[in-house]
Amino acid sequence: MIPTVALNRQCFSQLPDDVLRLIGMGQYTLYRVSVSEQPEIQYVLRTGQQEFFFLKEDGEPVSLNGSADFDIQEKVNLEDVPIFSVVPNLNWF
């Protein structure tokens, strides 16, 4: 099992609010990682089954040089991201 760490949104100043909300809702997953070939990469944002984005410490995207392996250290939960609930098909009469 991957350990979990709670961080706040200020840690990721380069990520848009919409991306932060999708992480908070569980649609996207953010991991703290270690990439030996590129130590500036601190996080991986998973947005789909085979879609990953590599990020610096502040959330700025980084290009991956080649096909580097990464080790997942922790799953990141955002503790201060507002999440709005929507009730589908709710009709008021």
Examine residue 72 and state whether it is found in any structural domain, yes or no.
yes
Q: How many domains does one find in the chain?
A: 1
- 59: in domain: yes
Model pTM above 0.85: no
Confirm whether 85 is domain-assigned.
no
pLDDT number for residue 87:
62
Q: Which domain holds residue 72?
A: 4-78
Tokens representing 7 are 């961080």
DSSP, collapsed to helix, strand or coil, labels residue 6 as strand
Mean pLDDT to the nearest integer, 41-69:
90
* 36 has pLDDT over 90: no
Rounded to the nearest integer, the mean pLDDT of the chain is 88
Q: Is residue 87 part of a domain?
A: no
Per the model's pLDDT, the better-predicted residue between 38 and 87 turns out to be: 38
Are 9 and 23 in contact, with CB atoms under 8 Å apart? Answer: no
Q: Tally the C-alpha atoms within 13 A of residue 25's C-alpha that lie toward its C-beta.
A: 13
Q: Is residue 90, in this structure, part of any structural domain at all?
A: no
Q: Which residue has the tokens 């879609």?
A: 51
Would you say residue 13 lies in a domain?
Answer: yes
